[in-house]
Structure 1
Amino acid sequence: MKTFLDYVAEDIIKKYGYDLSHMAVVFPNKRASLFLSDSLTRTARRPLWSPAYLTISEMFRRHSSLEVGDRIKLICDLHKSFIRCTGIDETLDHFYGWGELLLADFDDIDKNMADAGHVFSNLKNMHRLDDISYLTPEQKATLQKFFSNFSEDQDTILKQRFMQLWSNIGNIYDDYRERLRKQNIAYEGMLYRDVASDDTIEYKYDTYLFVGFNVVQKVERKIFDRLQEQDKARFYWDFDKYYMPSGGKDAVNEAGHYISGYLKYYPNELDSTSTDIYDNMSKRKNIVYINSGTDSIQARYISSWLRENGRTGAGQRTAVVLCNENMLQTVVHCLPEEAGNVNVTAGFPLSQSPLSSLVLRLSSLYLNGYNAGRRQFKRRYVMPVITHPYSRFISTRCKELKDMLYADRGHSLAADELSLDNGLSLVFGIEKNSGIVSWLTDIVAEIARNAKDGDAFFQESVFCIHTLLVRINGLISSGDLIADNITLQRLILQLISTTSIPFHGEPVVNTQIMGVLETRNLDFDHILVLSCNEGHMPKSLGDSSFIPYSIRKAYGLTTIDNKVAIYSYYFHRMLQRANDITLVYNSSTDDGQTGEMSRFMMQLMVESGYAIERRTLHTEKDRNIMTPRCIEKTPEVMDRLMNIGYLSPTAMNNYRRCPLRFYYNNVAKIKEPDNIDDDIDNRIFGNIFHLASELIYRQIMQPDGLVKSTDIERVLKDRKLIETTVDTAFRQEFFKTSDSTLRAVEYNGLQLINREVIIRYIRRLLEIDKTLAPFTIICLEGDVFEDVAFDTGETRHTVKIGGRIDRLDMITDSETGQQRIRVIDYKTGGSGITRKPCSVEEVFDPSLLREKHTDYYFQAMLYSALVRNNVHYNHNGLGVSPALLFIQHTRKDGYDPTLLFGKEKITDIKEYDDEFRFNLIALIKDIYNNEHDFEPTADRSNCDICPYRQLCGS
């Protein structure tokens, strides 16, 4: 296939020869110049003097004494003019998005050379008599956000604010332009208008070739006209007969709307009647429409599409076009090896780079995690920074600091103690008066110095973020940007979200991956268009502007109609010379998707006459990418199993829930990560309560374990004693330090709430026990174990079972008057047991774990069975009863934590001992049976709270 630029190259050499140094070729965008240069070289087949290549933007900028200002500075200056003219003191971060919208309106007015005074005068008159009833609820909500919050008489206040803007928009325009001109800068439309209006400009080249334009704005037409009058302008138009008007009739397709109007004023240098150049849509094409359920399926399809029909070998003649450029990251990861070094022209979103996540964590540390008065940091903001993968480029001691904070949660987070070296001193040596931008700039610069050998993508992301921060810092230093740190943080994040990391490559070789705009002037044999949905092709066409449609239409400004015609041209021009076309759209309505194919696809189906093949990409619903797999009990696994030390009730309950979970936790020894922030989870809360209750009772009970009501009453009256004891428990279990003289405990708000709750729980426990006293505590947090022998086939094994009991006491039963031992397990959770098991058989039924909490029963009964036969704890052969003390459910008088089977109290485990041990041995045999692999549970409801669900793929 011969491309449009090939025809242009042939015509240039035919008409102008091989010395093209006296001419300039002007394109709508930069990319096409590289392809034209390649076409000229191939066509000439000999050395030639190359022409100058310009974009239309470069051409305007070369002929102006003004410079286009930095985007951030332009918005900052517009913000100043906005405040000055309206009196609305809106913060910069709230104004920024609206400032971009206002700047786009000004740019559009100037590029279309509209009379700004008339536009704004009509705008002011139109709204003076108008009300805001025509606004949609969504528009009102947006304006309310812009103009801050209103408490009453919303519409009246909103209208007043609205009118402040409309009545002053002309003043803003004039003030803004004057402000910029004094600084010798301009926005693009302002510069264009100055150049187009200046009749004294002398244009350097003898000939200007304008190639591949579609919509031409009035400022550009002004230049075209002037150069044409001087016989310096020539035009090469790229179109197809399919969408152009014929026989005096208007075009049936909006794609040809603009070019058809320009041809009469700016004649085509190529033969407009040539069927080879301009009648390609009538030629045979293989067109496939594909319906996909998700964007990721579309991306995965690229691999198989490229492997078909020799597309990977077609090099630059193959293109993957992204209507939704947010898919780039997924697409890049789905490319097959055969694709080689593809050429990516779409930029990678900076917000998706790992470095941007580090900047986000750092800014949160600066604004939320630092107490300037105490020069201390909050752990929840420190840990995400020093555990980030890129923190190693700040300091080699981040891991050391992380381990130190893991080991001692009570370690001071003072800036001086965290600053172990120069890199960490940059992070934690925060001086609020230096500002967040300077602080971030210094840290990113340190990362750049320490990561010189990083990959190209990483280096580019560092460069982009550092450049962005330096630009903001420069504006702050010059006084152009005045904002507090919170506003600056929001501004930084907004700018990161709108910035792309450019890819560099050799554009004229290999498969091309590009956005829609990059396809202008370029032709391909094989083309795959992804996300060709309504909303992406054309882009969502909300008429976002401060200038209503009627006024925009009247003054020749850009409207929705223009945008549809422009995108229609992009779509049809992209396809016109390709013979192998695949268009994929997302049919899902999730995540804001409409699920509709592009209107241009529908149009092509109806109007083109092509036999379009329809396909659907299906997910393999019966195939799970990650499915839980059994762990085989190999000799190595069995060896580890035999050496796990002992089986605790928790370990056996893990096995009952899910044998695979038992393997990960108890055999493979993969432990859950510790809680590293300032929050107190349920496990830590329970540990603090357990230790606090132990410490309290060690102070109450006599040397022989006797606890009297008078001793309990004394402690209940001494609130300071209880608080100090709870603080000690906090220090050991949460702050991970046992040295009470090291430093005072400092709690945050949530920790204080948890501390108060535990104090109340301790008091409630004492109140319950006061009604029971006198009684004897046999042990607190005491261990009980027993060796159990069992057979597996022909082999006999012995395993130690047992664990730590929260509390073992001896009471006098109020009903029988007999002494009995209670094995008490404290429970601080709020769920309790609403449905109780009625038999030992139910206790061992794994299907009742969730419904009846049989794991609680199992643990209490196992400890009771072990204590029953333990002469150290039960040398008198007393009855032993299992008990679960749910501290949140102890409000009823006469509360008894002794377990029940139905309504029958278990006053002595001996009655159920034989049946319990029979089932226990069966469970242990199953665990050690090498013919039973560690299988995932069949009850997937257990997976919801399993810490290993991601590991096993549940």
Structure 2
Amino acid sequence: MSGFINQCIAYVLAKETEISSCVFILPSKRAGNFLKKELAEEIPDTLYAPEVWSIEEFLHEITAMQELSSTQALFKLYEAYCSVVKKEAEAFDVFITWGQTLLHDFNEIDRYLINPEEFFTYLSNIQDINHWALTSNKTTLVKKYLEFWKQLPAIYNVFTTNLLKEKLAYQGLMYRQAAAKCAHFFKENKEKRFYVIGFNALNDAEQQLFQTLLASEQGDVLWDIDKAFLEDPYHDAGLFIRKYKNTWAYYQQYPDRFKFIDSSYKNTKNIKIYEVSKNVGQAKQVGEILTKFDAEQLANTAVVMNDESLLTSMLNALPENITEVNITMGLPLVETPIAALIEILFDIQQEKKDTYYYKNILAFLHHPIIQRKLSSAGDKLIKEIQEENLVFIELSTVLEFFEPDEHPFLNFCLGKNISSPKQFIQHLTEALLALKASLSDAPVLKEYVFQFYQLFNQLLVLTEQYPYLDTIPLVRLMYKEQLQSLSVDFKGSPFKNLQLMGMLETRVLDYENVILTSVNEGILPSGKSQNSFIPYDLKKAYGLPTYREKDAIYTYHFYRLLQRAKSVSLLFNNDASGMQSSEKSRFITQLELERNIEIITNPVYVPPIKTDLKQFPKTPEVIKRIEALGAYGFSPSALTTYIRNPIDFYQKYILGIREENTVEEHLAANTFGTIVHESLEQLYTPFLNKKLTERDLLWIKENIANEVDKQYQLVYKKAPVQEGINLISKSISKRYLSNLVIQELQVLNQTETDTVKLIALEAPLEANITASFLANPIKLKGTADRIDVYNTTLRIIDYKTGKVLPSDLVVKDWGLLITDYKYSKAFQVLCYAYMYLKTTQVEAGVTAGVISFKNLKSGYMAFENKEGKEAEALITPAILAKFEQALVTLLQEIVNPELPFIEKEV
């Protein structure tokens, strides 16, 4: 299509006979490349190409100065700050938190040619008036705060003087110097003709540059503005260019030389606005729009992403009819897998202990690039960490699992004998080189690694130049600072195929078909956020840009995209669940009013909520598994799992799905229970088959601490138990056992005739159940924690480290016993009583119950049957018969092939 660049070329060719002596100045290099292409197509003859500069290259030509990166400028600023403030200077790690903001303000002051001495004096006076001290006597903190503002002119002067001596400049200083030298530059280059193309919002330095050019009659400034915006005094798309046309002396003298005023915006356009949910929804909607374009249309189509994080989703959503695409933006390095790996290595290096925290080691070993690099021994090490419960790991333990030829790489990644940040960076670069060598079959990953290798080499240079970059946390800060601005560039043809681009890449370029994503308030325009020490009123007073001017810049770019386009699709995200606004941009609202456009609400598919409960049929294979379980033995806990939810029973006992074995950094409830049970068994075993005495219980009490320590070592293995929450858990387990023994002493001392005789500890129990519906008997098996005789009553006791109330052991309705999980404790102790009494002849009365360590004040809580008016605690034959009937009913349900496993509603 014939766009703004073609219009500029036609104008210059009509005016100039020697095109080789022309210089074209554009907002970006990308715009310059497009101008070269169009110029080559317009001029059939062979000639010397004219020079095409970006604005940055133009400034360099005028000043002959080298521009510093923001990181380099930050270090130079710190040196100037230290030389002025001297002993009161803050450390670099503190300075870096506000130094970038100060550098940004210096940039603004220079770009707008403001007298720094006057400006900073004004700013200092404002801070003095606004300081928070309510009394006339200022505190030391307030004095230091106000002194800093008074020192800003000196900091600025030292900073800029030092840079000018070295012929270095940050962007703002480059602008100030160019504005001062431009008249001389144009005089020295009288043989050249300069054409400034496609600029909009100019700072004061640029205005001086371009006005000096116009006054010298050595060129022209070519604007890209539509009549609809220029003549409307309220339209922000024309805010800046309207001001230049009305105020520049050159245009006051030669109003007819103002070029160009276009009138394409009012032409008929096919504009569609899509309301879409989430970024993935936007990407899919763009893909759907692109399927309707043929190859010729795609070559003149731009997909413009206001939120560049949408790039990956967009690439995945491109339809099959698109075989080639040109991506003008880069993939941010921070989003690559190598960035995640580097973060892990920084975390490992900043651990305070000589050992490694297991989570960092597991993250390292699980990282896909490390798994490509290292042998399968890494999986064995992961298994060892989980099985041995290794919370902290020695480097020697890690190295044991790998071959000797892998040790150097592991030492580069994990070695902690680091004497300086420089050595750490050297280790990282060696590790990256080793990774790069192993990625010959993965060129994209290899490119990522190379980019990080370059980044750390730059950091290495910084550590050598600046001695105060002396800690790893500080290196990490600088690494993150630089990483944010780096990206991996894609290769492609910039002049054909579909274009995926950011908003700034569209400057000067025109496309027939424009698809614009994330047209949300807060993204387009970006809102009022600012990173500056300069208050709003002061900015207004000195003509510095505020949020209104920044909004006007976005307005210009948005409307310029629409200006010559024929088909426009605007998408905004209506999802309010994230951090970003779900409100459509004010630009969409304005378009709706101007052109009466209807918003297309993208129908987001929401799957219907399934009310049907999960069901799994009892296939012949499942029945075989149930029969095998019946022959081996159903445990009380397996049956209570079924009562809680048949699906849990199916997954755990039929399919054999178990929880993943993980490291217990903090003692889990089941491990805590195991330690308590094992300790009780070991402490009480010497007194089996005898009546407990006070002396026996005192001996047990004295040995609790040693036995618990021993069990922690056996059960909790190599996890740390002498610190933090684990030490508290250990103390609690000792307290539980001590309280139990104290309670038993009190029971024995109630009367002279009270006795307790231990019959069994951790007693294995089982019983066979036969029924008419069973081809073979089903075995019930379990382990009773303790069986004793209290006076004349045999007690079957289950220890619980959780809280159990007496009401949990009361049964009023036997039908609920096998359907309501609330009665699981009663069901469990009745199972133990049933198995014991089926195999053992007992003359005494029998009870079954629980001792709860979190409710020891209730003592031994026995099962009670409360069907009638009187509670019944003894396990009589009648109680046993009722339980057996309930148990058989439950088993009949489990083995019935006609009844599927059905999920229980919560």
- Is the TM value for this pair above 0.5? yes
In structure 2, C-alpha distance between the alignment counterparts of 1:341 and 1:789, rounded to whole Å: 73
The answer on whether the counterparts of 1:244 and 1:252 sit within 8 Å (CA) in structure 2 is: no
Aligned to 1:866: 835
For 2:487 and 2:11, the matched residues in 1 are separated by: 37
How far does the alpha carbon of each residue in 1:121-178 deviate from its partner, in whole angstroms, 9 at most, with x for none? 22223333344599xxxxxxxxxxxxxxxxx999967754542332222122112223
Is 408-417 or 349-358 further displaced after alignment? 408-417
| Native 8 Å contact 1:127 1:166 kept in 2 | yes
Are the structure 2 counterparts of residues 311 and 694 from structure 1 closer, same or farther at C-alpha, using a change threshold of 3 Å? farther
> What is aligned with 1:139?
none
- Specify the alignment match of 2:53 in structure 1: 54
How do 1:675-690 and structure 2 match up within 5 A?
A: 675-690=662-677
Q: Which residue of 2 aligns with 1:945?
A: none
Query: CA–CA distance in 2 between the matches of 1:611 and 1:768?
Result: 83
* Post-superposition offset of 1:932: 3.7
**Of the candidates 860, 880, 883, which is equivalent to residue 896 of structure 1?**
860
For the residue of structure 1 that corresponds to 2:225, the secondary structure is: coil
- 2:695 corresponds in structure 1 to 710
Please point out which of 784, 789, 796 is paired with 1:811: 789
CA shift digits 1:480-514 (9 cap, x unpaired): 54343334434434544554444443333333332
Relative to structure 1, is the Cα distance of residues 232 and 690 closer, same or farther in structure 2, using a 3 angstrom cutoff?
Answer: farther
Q: Residue 916 of structure 1 aligns with which residue? A: 883
Cα shift at 1:936: 3.7
CA distance in 2, matches of 1:133, 1:587: 46
> Shift in Å at residue 90 of structure 1?
3.9
Question: Does structure 2 retain, via aligned residues, the 8 Å contact 1:317–1:525?
Answer: yes
Q: Which moved more, 1:234-243 or 1:781-790?
A: 781-790
| Distance in 2 (alpha carbons) for counterparts of 1:472 and 1:341 | 36
Q: Distance in 1 between matches of 2:138 and 2:562?
A: 49
SS of equivalent to 2:419: helix
Report the CA distance shift for 1:934/1:444 in structure 2 as closer, same or farther (over 3 A).
farther
| Equivalent residue letter for 1:827 | K
1:809-866 Cα distance to aligned partner (Å, 9 max, x none): 1212xxxx533141x33222357576665335364454x43xx3x3333323223222
Structure 1 SS opposite 2:527 = coil
Match for residue 378 of structure 1?
357
Of 710, 727, 736 in structure 2, the residue corresponding to residue 752 of structure 1 is 727
- What code does the residue aligned with 2:460 have? N
User: C-alpha distance in 1, partners of 2:35/2:268?
Assistant: 26
Paired amino acid for 1:106: F
Amino acid across the alignment from 1:856: K
Following the alignment from structure 1 to structure 2, what is the Cα–Cα distance between the partners of residues 495 and 831? 58
Match of 2:766 in 1: 785
1:601 match = 588
* C-alpha contact (below 8 Å) 1:423/1:446 kept by paired residues: no
**Structure 1 equivalent of residue 531 of structure 2:** 544
Given the superposition, is the C-alpha separation of residues 416 and 520 from structure 1 closer, same or farther in structure 2, using an over 3 Å criterion? same
2:228 equivalent among 242, 260, 271: 242
Q: Deviations over 1:34-89 (max 9, x none)?
A: 43344345555787765444321123234544322232232233234345545655
Partner of 2:116: 116
Deviation of the 1:558 alpha carbon: 2.1
Q: Distance in 2 between matches of 1:466 and 1:588?
A: 39
Q: Match of 1:258?
A: 240
1:439-475 deviations in whole A, cap 9, x for unaligned?
7624652553354236454334333433333323321
Match of 1:691 among 675, 678, 692: 678
The aligned runs of 1:136-151 (5 Å cut-off) are none
45 and 790 in structure 1: CA distance in 2 versus 1, 3 angstrom threshold: farther
Greater fraction helix: 2
Q: Distance in 1 between matches of 2:320 and 2:340?
A: 29
Give 3-state SS (helix, strand or coil) of 2:233's partner: coil
Instruction: Report the alpha carbon displacement of residue 278 of structure 1 after superposing the two structures with TM.
Output: 1.8
Report the equivalent of 1:766: 741
CA distance change for structure 1 residues 749 and 153 in 2, over 3 Å: closer, same or farther? farther
Give deviations 1:229-286, integer Å, cap 9, x for gaps.
55543433222122112xxxx6331211222344567889999898xx8222111122
Shift of 1:675: 2.8
1:713 Cα deviation after fit = 0.8
Contact 2:811/2:826 (CA < 8 Å) preserved in 1?
no
Tell me: CA distance 1:400–1:158, structure 2 relative to 1, closer, same or farther (3 Å): same
Distance verdict in 2 for CA 1:915–1:625, change over 3 Å: closer
Q: What one-letter code is carried by the residue in structure 1 that aligns with 2:765?
A: V
TM-score by length of 1: 0.83
Q: Matches of residues 786-801 of structure 1 in structure 2 within 5 Å?
A: 786-789=767-770, 796=775, 798-801=777-780
Q: Which runs of 5+ in 1 are unaligned?
A: 135-151, 738-744, 940-954
Partner of 1:74: 73
Aligned length in residues: 879
- Post-superposition shift, 1:221? 3.3
Q: Distance in 2 between matches of 1:753 and 1:886?
A: 19
Report matched runs for 1:310-709 at 5 Å.
310=293, 314-368=297-351, 370-371=352-353, 375-392=354-371, 395-396=374-375, 397-409=377-389, 413-420=393-400, 421-435=407-421, 437-438=424-425, 441-442=428-429, 444-446=431-433, 448-453=435-440, 455-479=442-466, 481-497=468-484, 499-606=486-593, 608=594, 610-623=595-608, 630-643=615-628, 645-698=632-685, 700-702=686-688, 704=689, 707-709=692-694
The question of 1:212 aligning with 2:198 is answered: yes
Measure, in 2, the Cα distance between the counterparts of 1:757 and 1:559: 61
Q: Indicate if the aligned counterparts of 2:690 and 2:758 stay in contact, CA closer than 8 A.
A: yes
Structure 2 partner of 1:297: 281
Q: Give me the whole-angstrom Cα distance separating, in 1, the residues matched to 2:905 and 2:127.
A: 67
Alpha-carbon displacement from aligned partner over 1:307-350 (angstroms, at most 9, x marks no partner): 3x427873243333222333334444444444444433334343
Offset, 1:109: 1.3
Q: 1:863 to 1:335 in 2, by over 3 A?
A: farther
Q: Percent identity?
A: 24
Q: Alpha-carbon deviations, 1:13-43, whole Å to 9, x = none? A: 66668x9654443321232234334434555
Flag the 1:565–1:633 CA change in 2: closer, same or farther, 3 A.
same
User: RMSD value over aligned CA atoms?
Assistant: 3.7
Which residue among 711, 716, 720 is the counterpart of 1:734? 716
Change in Cα spacing, 1:236 to 1:403, as seen in structure 2 (3 Å) is: same
8 Å CA contact 1:861–1:909 kept in 2: the answer is no
Counterparts of 1:338 and 1:920, CA distance in 2: 65
In the alignment, the residues of structure 1 paired with residue 137 and residue 324 of structure 2 have an alpha-carbon distance, to the nearest angstrom, of 58
Work out the CA distance in 1 between the residues paired with 2:565 and 2:723: 65
Contact 2:389 2:717 (8 Å CA) reproduced: yes
Match of 2:752 in 1: none
Determine the C-alpha separation between the residues in 1 that align with 2:418 and 2:444: 32
Whole-angstrom distance in 1 between the partners of 2:197 and 2:610: 49
Change (3 A) 1:206 1:402: same
Alpha-carbon spacing, 1:8–1:652, altered in 2? closer, same or farther (3 Å): farther
Q: Which moved more, 1:186-195 or 1:456-465?
A: 456-465
Instruction: Extract unaligned runs of 5+ from structure 2.
Output: 401-406, 749-754
Distance in structure 2 (CA, Å) of the matches to 1:590 and 1:155: 47
- Spell out the pairing of 1:817-856 with structure 2 (5 A cutoff): 817-822=791-796, 824-830=797-803, 837-839=810-812, 841=814, 843-844=816-817, 846=819, 848-849=820-821, 852=822, 854-856=823-825
Structure 2 Cα separation of the partners of residues 424 and 482 of structure 1: 26
Q: What's the offset of the Cα at 1:756?
A: 1.1
